[in-house]
Structure 1
Amino acid sequence: MRDTSSRDPGEVFGPRMTLFADMLSIGLLTALLSLPVVTIPATLSTACAVLRGAGDGQPATAGRYLAVLRQRLRPGDLAAGAVALTGALLVVADLALARAGLPGAPLFAVVAAAIGAAALVVGLRACARPEALTDWTAAVREAAGDAVHDAGGSALVLLAVAAAALCAWMLVPLAFLAPGPLALALTAVQVRRTANAFRR
């Protein structure tokens, strides 16, 4: 792994700032390629894979991102996107019904929000797993286990989502950069989980 404390000759900002810039460019590409919505799982998991590779000395560049995405796009990725979109629409519809004043609406809204948050955590953690590049079923299964056994990591995922949403809400153009920091946070949580499991 490259020493992040040293600079190459002629390098102005150092490797950490270079990774930061690459993360933002990957985030912008992820946002643009996620506009069809059903491509979100594929684009986000690709961003996580490219950023994870930076720890092994691989370039975390927009060019590598596009190359990895081109290699892995398959019907299963679009199916995963369709499932994620359907789940999100169901949660939104349930919350809308709860606001309509149905009997037991407050409890129903809490349960629907909790289920939606749990599904969001599992889905995002699945995007950060290496298995997502080849097998979504395995990635979701492993992510569900991670979500249960690593509550701290799941809380960090929710905080990352909240921070990304807040940035996008405060300044709309930031919404196009938010996927980069979100992917970096998801990757960091996964690396932390892997490191903890290895120590055991």
Structure 2
Amino acid sequence: MRDLSSREPGEVFGPRMTLFADMLSVGLATAVVSLPVVTLPAALSTACAVLRGAGEGQPATAGRYFELLRRRLRAGDLMAGAVALAGALLFAADLALAGAGLPGAPLFAVAAGAIGAAALVVGLRACARPESLTDWPTAVREAARDGVADPGGSGLVLLAVATAALCAWMLLPLAFLAPGPLALALTAVHIRRAGMSRSG
């Protein structure tokens, strides 16, 4: 892999800016693939795999993204998307019930929020794991272990989600680019955790 501080002859912005542009194109591809909703976990997992490969000298382009997605999209990926969608709908229903003024609603809303945040962190960390390309149950188990063993990384994941949501809320077209930075953040958290495990 070439040094990220060097420039090729004729290169205007340098390789870091090239990676940034590639990340945005991967993010746009991820947003398009995620439109059916049940494809969201596979789309985000593939984006993380492409960006992870950039650290190994592989191109982080939309072309490689679609090539990798075409090779890995299977029934298990759609099942993971269906489970994620069902969980999101259940969470929304729980919050709606809490907002209806039922007895104990404030405490229930706090508990539901904590459970929802934990599930979101585990799901997103699972997308960043290499196992998600072939085996979702293993990826989820390992992500749950990472979530407990690395609370700092889990906080970074929540911060990345909040930042992506805020950008999309402030300017709607940014919603189509947000998956790229989110995938990059998830990949960075995974690489950070892997480095901590090796050094420990």
**TM class by shorter-chain length?**
over 0.9
Residue pairs, 1:100-119, within 5 angstroms: 100-119=100-119
Residue pairs, 1:95-174, within 5 angstroms: 95-174=95-174
Count of residue correspondences: 200
* In 2: Cα distance, 1:103 partner to 1:36 partner: 37
2:29 corresponds in structure 1 to 29
1:17 corresponds in structure 2 to 17
Structure 2 gap segments, 5+ residues each:
none
Q: CA deviation at 1:13?
A: 0.6
Runs of 4+ in structure 1 over 2 Å off:
none
* In 2: Cα distance, 1:160 partner to 1:111 partner: 22
2:2 corresponds in structure 1 to 2
Deviations 1:56-91 (A, max 9, x none): 000001110000000000000000000000000000
Q: CA deviation at 1:10?
A: 1.5
* In 1: Cα distance, 2:123 partner to 2:48 partner: 13
Q: CA deviation at 1:40?
A: 0.2
Deviations 1:120-155 (A, max 9, x none): 000000000000000000000000000000000000
Q: Percent identity?
A: 80
Task: Provide the secondary structure at the position in 2 that maps to 1:37.
Answer: coil
Q: CA deviation at 1:11?
A: 1.1
* In 2: Cα distance, 1:57 partner to 1:84 partner: 32
Q: Which moved more, 1:89-98 or 1:6-15?
A: 6-15
* In 2: Cα distance, 1:42 partner to 1:93 partner: 25
Query: 2:148 is matched by which residue type in structure 1?
Result: V
2:192 corresponds in structure 1 to 192
2:176 corresponds in structure 1 to 176
Task: Provide the secondary structure at the position in 2 that maps to 1:64.
Answer: helix
Query: 1:85 is matched by which residue type in structure 2?
Result: L
Query: 2:83 is matched by which residue type in structure 1?
Result: V
Q: CA deviation at 1:2?
A: 1.9
Structure 1 gap segments, 5+ residues each:
none
* In 2: Cα distance, 1:99 partner to 1:136 partner: 33
Q: CA deviation at 1:193?
A: 0.2
Residue pairs, 1:34-113, within 5 angstroms: 34-113=34-113
User: CA RMSD of the aligned region, Å?
Assistant: 0.4
Q: CA deviation at 1:9?
A: 1.4
